[in-house]
Structure 1
Amino acid sequence: MTREDVVLVGLDGSAPSLHALDWAAAEATTHGLTLQIVCSYALPSFTAASLDGGYAALDDTAIQEGAKAVLAEAQERADARGVRSTASVATGDAAGVLVEMSRSARLAVVGTRGRGGFADRLLGTVSSALPAHAYCPTVVVPLRAQSTGDELALPEPRPVRRIVVGVDGSPAADLALRRAIREAKAWGAELTAVAGVPIGASAGALAWLPAAIDHEAVLRDVAEGLDVVVERALIDLPGVEVKRHVLDGTGAALLTEFSTATDLIVVGSRGRGGFAGLLLGSTSQAVLHHSACPVMVVTQRCADDETPHTGRVSGVGDLHPEV
């Protein structure tokens, strides 16, 4: 798979998508990439029944003009930030279009929600579908905007100074760790690797463990495994200091909590069972829904950009759920 030096951004003209564009522009600047801005729309096969039993064709000229206006505004925003960009209108389901275009992109970026009403629900599915199916890492950027009178003020995207990556010893998490190291190096950011082990009484996930088990020993074992995973990744990607934390709790809860004081969460995902190709893992889904900061999802489909170890490390990931 040949990748171009672009950050792919899906746009629909909504405030969340413009905020995602601003974040993508900062990412493109940091990595020396070009923005590839796409606005897509889908037309029904018919729009209204005519009197003779046929169907009236829809003139999509106005829709195209609206999409072009959205792209023009987007390119003006990119130009104002000194970022090179290209823009195009595509017809088809937004998620499907972006998934296909992700084959040749370095990164895909979308906002969390689309426009109001029922359309909001449809467009909102893009931020769930794209991370699960994309061929490159995907960043979902939440909008925490404040209203100023009749307008919605878009905050400036925060520079990435703190990155937290979830690690459980799986190949998917290895991919996420390696990508997080690359991001930390590009941004000059502080990187923390977190492994969650739900052994506390309130967690309930490991209720099957013997009551006499030494919880501290479990945490130490996982910490040793985390060190092995991190040091192995740093052999190929040196020059970044990685802090490590092994904590009592689920990966989803811990990463969501960290998101309130972090600029980027990076998580791997491999899904489960027969629906592995359709669904994100439970942790990545939960973090996407609740994170206060942008979330980067790295799936196994992104493996052509990395060279991770394919085995598991004893002690990391053996005791906690799907990432």
Structure 2
Amino acid sequence: MAEDKVVLVGVDGSPESLGAVDWAVARAAREGWRVHILCAYSLPSFTAASLDGGYAALDDRAIRAGAQAVVDEAVARAQQAGVAVTSSLETGDPAGVLVDLSADAALAVVGTRGGGGFADRLLGTVSSALPAHAKCPTVIVPRHTTGAAFTPVKRIVVGVDGSGSAHKAVRRAVREAEAWDAELTAVAAVPMSTGSGALAWLPAAVDRQQVLADVRAGLDHAVAEALEGHSGVAVSRHALDGNAAELLAEFSTAVDLVVVGSRGRGGFAGLLLGSTSQAVLSHAACPVMVVPARAKDDDSAVTRSNVPWERA
């Protein structure tokens, strides 16, 4: 049931994390999902020096009070949209907490600083840990630079490289297009031009148009498979000569959401661990959804009873 599905949002009080709340609320409202707002923190690993030259145990009450204020602000913001909202404070490594809870969420959402990295105060190493290890799709919402809202999502582009992970990303992109009633474009990129591209070594005698035709055929197959059961979604398709990350970053200036798969074997090999992923996440002008290979296709409901939104 829709009410059993949860969008998990990590917050730290920064404008970027509040932007993530706005995106999560808009997505949840499309299908009656719940939003769970979470602030996770861990105590510093050192002991504070006292004025008398000794050492004092660190009192976490002030830290917890500050974290609660962050959560309260985000909850008040989310409730204005009329969606169901729960919240919690969690102690421990923020990355580990979010990765663990992602197993029972339909979607996880966090914000970025807009300068290429995630909000330092929020998650630290989550900039790589959450999208790389999450059990559900993760949306990374960048800083607003134009003042225009990232929602509603009207145009979506998904990157396809022929891998099983990319096929999963296409299926999720179709699902998002259906939920948002958005236009969807699927793009497959093959770097064949002269230079340092992966296929720049191809001899001149190779029919590059045939290579693109083969890529287009694979793209058509992936899209056709993803559209089964979703006949109301129309998908534009483009097989292009170029660098995948650069092309997706360029597309991101004209669309509202970029969808990519992780752990692919082609243009997105090593996503979230290599140069392609870092380029997409660092330079995208709109939110990016990373769909892990392990993600569920059906947005299935929670299965554990000890998740914080069930305790709320």
Q: Is the 8 A contact 2:262 2:270 kept in 1?
A: no
Partner of 1:182: 175
Residue equivalent to 1:261:
254
**Corresponding residue for residue 218 of structure 2:** 225
Matching residue of 2:96: 96
State the identity as a percent.
Answer: 66
Q: Deviations over 1:124-149 (max 9, x none)?
A: 53233210111100000001247xxx
Q: Which runs of 4+ in 1 moved over 6 A?
A: 50-54
Please give the secondary structure, in 2, of the residue aligned with 1:110: strand
Q: Alignment RMSD, CA only?
A: 2.6
CA change 1:304–1:181 in 2 (3 A) is: closer
Aligned residue identity for 2:108: A
| Match in the other structure for 2:241 | 248
Which 5+ residue runs of structure 2 have no aligned equivalent?
A: 300-312
With the length of structure 2 as denominator, give the TM-score of the two structures: 0.85
Residues 171 and 282 (structure 1), Cα distance of their counterparts in 2 relative to 1, 3 Å cut: farther
1:305 positional shift: 3.9
Change (3 A) 1:195 1:271: closer
Paired position in structure 2 for 1:314: none
Q: Quote the residue 1:158 is aligned against.
A: 151
Structure 1 gaps of 5+ residues are: 147-153, 307-323
Local SS of the residue matching 1:211: coil
CA shift in 2, pair 1:161/1:186, >3 Å = same
Deviating more after overlay: 51-60 vs 74-83: 51-60
TM-score (norm 1): 0.82
Q: Alignment partner of 2:56: what SS? A: coil
Q: In 2, distance between residues paired with 1:271 and 1:67?
A: 37
* Displacement after TM superposition at 1:246 (Å): 0.5
Does the 8 Å CA contact 2:264/2:270 hold for their aligned counterparts?
yes
Partner of 2:28: 28
Give the secondary-structure state (helix, strand or coil) at the position aligned to 2:58. coil
Deviates more, 1:133-142 or 1:84-93: 84-93
**Mapped pair 1:60 → 2:53:** no
**1:255: how far off?**
0.6
* Equivalent of residue 213 in structure 1, options 206, 210, 213: 206
> CA offset at residue 240 of structure 1?
0.8
Q: Contact (CA 8 Å) 2:164, 2:264: kept in 1 or not?
A: no
1:201-229 CA distance string (max 9 Å, x none): 24532122111111111111211121112
Q: Cα offset for 1:155?
A: 5.1
Q: 1:296 is paired with a residue of what secondary structure?
A: strand
User: Structure 2 CA distance, aligned partners of 1:194 and 1:135?
Assistant: 25
Give, in angstroms, the shift of residue 49 of structure 1: 5.2
Structure 2 counterpart of 1:320: none
Pairs within 5 Å for 1:3-18: 4-18=4-18
Q: Structure 1's 53 and 277: CA in aligned 2 closer, same or farther, altered over 3 A?
A: farther
